[in-house]
């Protein structure tokens, strides 16, 4: 290995130019030590990473079980055939979770607000909201999907839809609204009472105080945990396969049973990874943008 410590060639500037501090908080924890070390530290990190990954790859590929693993999980031909088919059906998941997410944002907000209403008059509403959250956080999502997806159409009530997609969206909305309501509530309760006093002393009503002062601050604070729940919801859209509805997972299952190969599952896993990571970076960017706008870059 050329140059363990301070070989001159390691001082060469990186193609990316000077090291800029990462924007997100998430990345900085990994990259922070590099910033302290400067250009030399980055160079060492790059070389050691390449060497490390190469060693791991060589070790894996040369192990005795590799050909078997490769055939069962990473079959190129099956992948090429299955991937477009799975993507095609995965669009159904996207539709389900996008609609559910929009509904969850609204339903959860209503529940959180009901739960944070003060005063004895609102006791029944608070109780209802609390009962709702307790109930739907307790029942496994797959059970709610089964209950509604199989149960509701079995009633054969006129006007009640019997579409799998419809009931899947309802089930996911019910379950995830319970989680997200709690996230919102934590946000609402994190807004200091002095903010409310301040708004009320201007003569703003309870309602306007909530709308203009409490909720905007609460929602900003809970964006990261909100993403957590949305990623959970997106993954749980695969549970709709249980109803026999051909979405991404069901499609992978079908191909798997035809080929006796697990590559289609890996293909689906890949799709989930690819859609999740940009969302995480987007939220990092959002939080950072908000922080920057509100605070001076140099200490106050």
- What burial class does residue 163 get, using C-beta atoms within 10 Å of its C-beta: 0-12 exposed, 13-18 middle, 19+ buried? exposed
What sign results for the dihedral spanned by CA atoms 110, 112, 114, 117? negative
Report if residue 220 touches another protein, rule: CB under 8 A.
yes
Question: Among all chains, which residue has been given the structure tokens 């609609």?
Answer: 99
Q: How far is the CB of 217 from another protein (least distance, A)?
A: 5
Report if residue 295 touches another protein, rule: CB under 8 A.
yes
> Is 32 within 8 Å of 51 (Cβ atoms)?
no
Using CB under 8 A, pick the residue from 43, 107, 213, 240 that binds another protein.
213
Q: Indicate the DSSP class of residue 18.
A: S
Using CB under 8 A, pick the residue from 2, 65, 201, 278 that binds another protein.
201
> What stretch of H or E contains 70?
helix 66-73
Report if residue 190 touches another protein, rule: CB under 8 A.
no
Using CB under 8 A, pick the residue from 194, 260, 273, 274 that binds another protein.
194
CB nearer another protein, residue 281 or residue 291: 291
Cα separation, 221 vs 191, in Å, equals 9
Q: How far is the CB of 296 from another protein (least distance, A)?
A: 5
- Contact track, another protein, 101-120, x by CB under 8 A: --------------------
Using CB under 8 A, pick the residue from 48, 205, 257, 279 that binds another protein.
205
CB nearer another protein, residue 121 or residue 138: 121
DSSP 98-151: HHHHHHHHHHHHHHHHHHT--SGGGHHHHHHHHHHHHHHHHS-HHHHHHIIIII
Using CB under 8 A, pick the residue from 96, 199, 268, 287 that binds another protein.
199
Overall size of the chain counted in residues: 300
List interacting residues with another protein (CB under 8 A).
194-195, 197-205, 208, 212-213, 216-217, 220, 293-296, 300
């Amino acid at each position: 290995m050329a140059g363990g410590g301070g070989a001159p060639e390691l001082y060469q500037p990186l193609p990316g130019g000077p090291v800029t501090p990462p924007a997100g908080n998430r990345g900085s924890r990994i990259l922070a030590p590099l910033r302290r070390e400067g250009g030399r530290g980055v160079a060492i990190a790059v070389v050691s990473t390449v060497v490390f990954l190469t060693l791991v790859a060589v070790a894996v590929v040369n192990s005795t079980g590799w050909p078997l693993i490769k055939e069962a999980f990473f079959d190129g031909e099956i992948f090429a055939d299955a991937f477009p088919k799975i993507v095609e059906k995965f669009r159904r998941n996207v539709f389900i979770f996008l609609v559910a997410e929009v509904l969850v944002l609204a339903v959860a907000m209503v529940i959180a607000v009901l739960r944070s209403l003060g005063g004895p008059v609102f006791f029944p509403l608070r109780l209802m909201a609390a009962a709702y959250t307790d109930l739907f956080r307790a029942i496994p999502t797959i059970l709610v999907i089964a209950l509604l997806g199989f149960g509701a159409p079995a009633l054969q009530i006129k006007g009640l839809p019997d579409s799998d997609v419809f009931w899947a969206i309802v089930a996911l909305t019910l379950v995830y609204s319970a989680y997200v309501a709690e996230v919102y509530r934590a946000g609402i309760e994190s807004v200091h009472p002095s903010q409310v006093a301040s708004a009320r002393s201007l003569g703003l009503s309870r309602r306007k105080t909530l709308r203009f002062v409490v909720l905007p601050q609460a929602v900003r604070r809970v964006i990261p945990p909100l993403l957590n729940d949305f990623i959970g919801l997106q993954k749980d859209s695969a549970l709709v396969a249980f109803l026999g509805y051909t979405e991404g997972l069901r499609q992978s299952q079908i191909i798997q049973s035809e080929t006796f190969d697990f590559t289609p599952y890996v293909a689906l896993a890949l799709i989930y990874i690819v859609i999740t990571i940009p969302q995480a970076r987007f939220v990092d960017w959002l939080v950072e943008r908000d922080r920057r706008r509100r605070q001076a870059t140099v200490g106050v």
